[in-house]
A and B are shown apart, each in its own frame.
Chain A
Amino acid sequence: MDVIDRGGAWAVVGAGPHGLSALKNLLQLGIDADGYERDEDLGGNWNFHAENSRVYESTHLISTKPFTQFPDFPMPDDYPDYPSHWQVHRYFRAYADHFGLLDHLSLHTEVVNVVPAGDDRWNVTVRDRHTGEETTRQYAGVVIANGHNWWPKIPEYPGQDTFTGEILHSANYKSADAVRGKRVLVVGAGNTGCDVAVESAQNARETYHSTRRGYYYNPKYAFGRPSDQTADLLLAMRLPLGLRRVMFKTVLRLTVGDFEKFGLRKPDHEFFETHPIVNQQLVYYVGHGDIRPRPDIARFDGGTVHFEDGSSAEVDTVVFCTGYLARFPFLDESYLNLDGDHPVLARQIFTPSTPTLAVSGLIQPDSGQWTIAHWQGMLIATYAALRERDPRAAQRFYERMVAETGVRFTGGTDYKDSTRHYYEIAHQEYLRAIEDDLHALEMAGV
């Protein structure tokens, strides 16, 4: 097969926010780049109609604009504090239009194979999903930004195959139509699980919400301000973790109240040890009896679900909001230094065995995402620019990076052991590290 040599260009897999940011920053730093997106439109997870989009009709951001937006392309002033997924998608389109990314982006083009071509270069094979035609191009580097929230992780409980009702993963939950008028069990207390539980409380006949443990349910607003902005103010003041924990728990106690009095379980862990849940309505519906909290599932039996506390419920529909796993079907995953089922990288970006294969977006910040997407893209692009200008300096930088493979940015806490925290980062600590790396690259002459 003919291979088209793209010289010093980099390939970017995926045109969600991380792919767009990588593409834009590469181009802005003078590195030619081709983006590939398997869907008809850009936006990744936020492109509602895409096959692999996991947003539902009611999805809104759970972090506010200031540190969720790209820092060099703020969201419009007339967007609300917590924009909807429709607004988010419009925003990504505006970003791509403004920076002229569409000229460098192939839509409905799926990356099917990424293989080394020697000399740290990569052959990337793509398939046009309209014509089925395959093309292979050779690149100086590859940025993988295919997302980690699209491959559903489905749990298995005893007797699950005997269940007579319907089992759904949140991956296929698009609107309240899935639960309207039914007896529903929502499993999982991630942000999706809580959203779906609330939506079910508003639309279903009965709603049970099964969670493995008690959590801290944070309000979107406290004392008239978006609570994440207040949280960032405390972080900016560099208050110690212990003090911040006390302050957060006090604020929760004052604004939401004692979770146990609502019939929710007491959290079995410290604040910041699990990914923050931001949901002001869940506790409200629990208080109205429209959401009935339950512990983990013990087993299924026909139309009945038995829980670990011995209680049971008759349900028609189970919605597993049990999260997603990262998948890289176009790549020999050994390049990603897998630990079991998840990659272990340097800065959660650089692969330890290959200097020209970077991953963007394999993060789950305790804050907004796309400010970090911007700086990840900037770091990769600046590194790529240095490789072109001074390969030896770039190699030295890379080796310093990979010496820190697996170092996590936890803000001093121990995350609970769960697939959900594979990619968790404390955003301010992470960004400070990225900033130091950028300085090092700038010193090296980019």
Chain B
Amino acid sequence: MAQRRRPSKVMRLWDWSVPPAGVHREVLSIVPEGWHDQPRATRKPPILFVHGLAHGAWIWRENWMPAAAERGFPVYAVSLRGHGDSGGRTKLGRTLLRHYVHDVMQTITELPQPPVLVGHSMGALVSQLVADRYQPRGLALLTPAPIQGAAYTLPKLVRRRPGAAAKVLVGGTLPLGAEQLFTGLDDVTAARYVDRLGKESPWAQYELMLPHRIGPVRCPVLVVGTPDDRVVDEAAVEETAAAYGVEPIWLPGIGHDLMLDAGWEKALSVVLDWVDERCG
């Protein structure tokens, strides 16, 4: 009847014929005492955090998870396969975004009710792909990997960081240092965090270059960016926000890793206030 406007969300041919195998998943969680006993209709919804490229669930555990739990939210964070303490490290070279989607979907089915999905960077793109098949309570996209595909950023990357660009093109992990991720963090802490970064799947990185089209998402969407982000530029944030018909929230002064950088409290309160207001 209607024209096909976008890749099918019904016909998951690859997932049907070559389904991702399961791997051990690291899922960190803090559930406030007494939350389970509260009535389902009025208690605060669970929040599921999805990390970005080369990161792991630990980034949420540092600051955001305890603080959000303090505000009464049950919080969960999953390490995508090949990241953090999840399995699948040896197969990272064969991992696609759809494997990450599988890991997030598996985690969701273990939660007591539909969560608010909070995705960061590449995790924001994974979260959107998840929201294309599962209706979360809300969808928060933090410094999101560009929905229009990151290919347009390549010339800039080649100009500014030719070594990094060359590495990505041959399948290496995009090198991320303190100068890319943080603006106001002390050197010792920043170095400790950068040390914990792992590898990324070359195929997932290539997929980040491609445009992604998501169907109608029937939940509140929040898009957060920062003008001081040296990984994801403002165009990526604006394009993503436009795809959902929302205005992005800008948080000047914070770097790409806004859950670790100095000023994380402000970023977290933007997200939690939005959850309280829109996803109750």
Rounded to whole angstroms, the CA-CA distance of A275 and B9 in the bound complex is 26
Closest residue on chain A to residue B216 by CB atoms: A442
Q: Is the CB of A435 within 8 A of B112?
A: no
Chain B residues with CB under 8 A of A432? 10-11
Q: Is the CB of A76 within 8 A of B109?
A: yes
In the complex, the number of residue pairs spanning A and B with C-beta atoms less than 8 Å apart equals: 88
Binds B, one of A13-21, A42-50, A93-101, A208-216: A93-101
Closest residue on chain B to residue A233 by CB atoms: B17
Rounded to whole angstroms, the CA-CA distance of A256 and B1 in the bound complex is 42
Using an 8 Å CB-CB cutoff, how does the interface string of A392-425 with B read, 1 for contact, 0 for none?
0000000010000000000000000000000000
- Taking the complex as formed, is A309 at the interface, i.e. its CB lies under 8 A from any CB of chain B? no
Rounded to whole angstroms, the CA-CA distance of A77 and B20 in the bound complex is 10
Interchain nearest-CB distance for B111 vs A (Å):
7
| Given the contacts A66-B15, A66-B16, A98-B111, A439 and B1 also touching, CB distance less than 8 Å | yes
- Taking the complex as formed, is B192 at the interface, i.e. its CB lies under 8 A from any CB of chain A? no
Q: Is the CB of A229 within 8 A of B10?
A: no
**In chain A between 65 and 88, which residues have their CB closer than 8 angstroms to a CB of chain B?**
65-67, 71-74, 76-78
| Given the contacts A66-B19, A72-B134, A97-B112, A77 and B106 also touching, CB distance less than 8 Å | yes
- Taking the complex as formed, is A28 at the interface, i.e. its CB lies under 8 A from any CB of chain B? yes
Task: Decide if the interface of chain B is mainly helix, strand, loop or mixed.
Answer: loop
Rounded to whole angstroms, the CA-CA distance of A53 and B13 in the bound complex is 32
Interchain nearest-CB distance for B241 vs A (Å):
21
Contact of A74 among B8, B106, B113 (CB under 8 A): B106
Closest residue on chain A to residue B19 by CB atoms: A66
Q: Is the CB of A72 within 8 A of B16?
A: no
- Chain A interface residue count: which class? 35 or more
Interchain nearest-CB distance for A115 vs B (Å):
32
Rounded to whole angstroms, the CA-CA distance of A93 and B57 in the bound complex is 29
Q: Is the CB of B10 within 8 A of A435?
A: yes
Using an 8 Å CB-CB cutoff, how does the interface string of A89-114 with B read, 1 for contact, 0 for none?
00000100111100100000000000
| Given the contacts A65-B19, A97-B112, A98-B114, A400 and B102 also touching, CB distance less than 8 Å | no
| Given the contacts A71-B133, A98-B112, A229 and B17 also touching, CB distance less than 8 Å | yes
Rounded to whole angstroms, the CA-CA distance of A97 and B114 in the bound complex is 10
**In chain B between 76 and 111, which residues have their CB closer than 8 angstroms to a CB of chain A?**
102, 105-106, 109, 111
- Taking the complex as formed, is B188 at the interface, i.e. its CB lies under 8 A from any CB of chain A? no
Rounded to whole angstroms, the CA-CA distance of A97 and B16 in the bound complex is 25
Chain A residues with CB under 8 A of B218? 28-29
- Taking the complex as formed, is B12 at the interface, i.e. its CB lies under 8 A from any CB of chain A? yes
Q: Is the CB of A439 within 8 A of B4?
A: yes
Contact of B1 among A64, A72, A233, A400 (CB under 8 A): A400
| Given the contacts A28-B135, A98-B109, A98-B111, A232 and B17 also touching, CB distance less than 8 Å | yes
Interchain nearest-CB distance for B186 vs A (Å):
40
Closest residue on chain A to residue B215 by CB atoms: A442
- Taking the complex as formed, is B2 at the interface, i.e. its CB lies under 8 A from any CB of chain A? yes
- Taking the complex as formed, is A280 at the interface, i.e. its CB lies under 8 A from any CB of chain B? no
| Given the contacts A78-B22, A98-B109, A436 and B1 also touching, CB distance less than 8 Å | yes
Q: Is the CB of A72 within 8 A of B135?
A: yes
- Taking the complex as formed, is A434 at the interface, i.e. its CB lies under 8 A from any CB of chain B? yes
Q: Is the CB of A375 within 8 A of B10?
A: yes
Rounded to whole angstroms, the CA-CA distance of A64 and B15 in the bound complex is 12
Rounded to whole angstroms, the CA-CA distance of A436 and B2 in the bound complex is 6
Binding site for B on A (CB under 8 A): 28-29, 64-67, 71-74, 76-78, 94, 97-100, 103, 229-230, 232-233, 235-236, 375, 400, 428, 431-432, 434-440, 442-443
- Can you give 22 A-B contacts (C-beta < 8 A)? A28-B135, A66-B17, A71-B12, A73-B134, A74-B105, A74-B106, A74-B109, A77-B23, A78-B22, A97-B112, A98-B111, A99-B113, A229-B17, A229-B19, A232-B13, A233-B18, A375-B10, A431-B11, A435-B11, A438-B10, A440-B1, A442-B2
Known: A72-B133, A77-B23. 4 other contacts (CB 8 A): A64-B19, A98-B113, A375-B10, A432-B10
